[in-house]
Amino acid sequence: MSRMRASLGAVLAAMVLAGCSSSGTTSKEPEVAANSDGRCQAGAADFAVGKQASAELLEQARTRSGAQAARILKPHDMVTLEYRSDRLNLNADDRGVITRVNCG
């Protein structure tokens, strides 16, 4: 019985650690844009729609939106379900072209 509990504990620990791993998306959390409270304003990053996803584009969009964090989401990326008002999401298609901009 104790072996079963130890195995279950190991599996549970592995699942928790897997949830903390990175899936290759870019996330930056540097300083807040000037005159901003750190909340994301997606409309200010609409310029990114139709452009090829890149680290430079992500940083430009993050800065303009006033968000503290930003990430590029591809169609099959796993994401967490929490809503963060300070995070910008750039949604990209399979070719890496930004299709939608939103906060959360």
H helix intervals, 24-80:
55-65
**Ramachandran quadrant class, 24 (left: phi over 0; alpha: psi -120 to 50; beta: rest):** left
**Per-residue model confidence (pLDDT) at position 72:** 97
List the domain range (segments joined by +) for residue 83. 2-103
Give percent of the chain above pLDDT 90: 61
Model pTM score: 0.64
Q: Assign residue 18 the CATH number of its domain.
A: 3.30.10.10
Q: Which of the pair, 48 or 23, is modelled with greater confidence?
A: 48
The total of structural domains in the chain comes to: 1
Give percent of the chain above pLDDT 70: 65
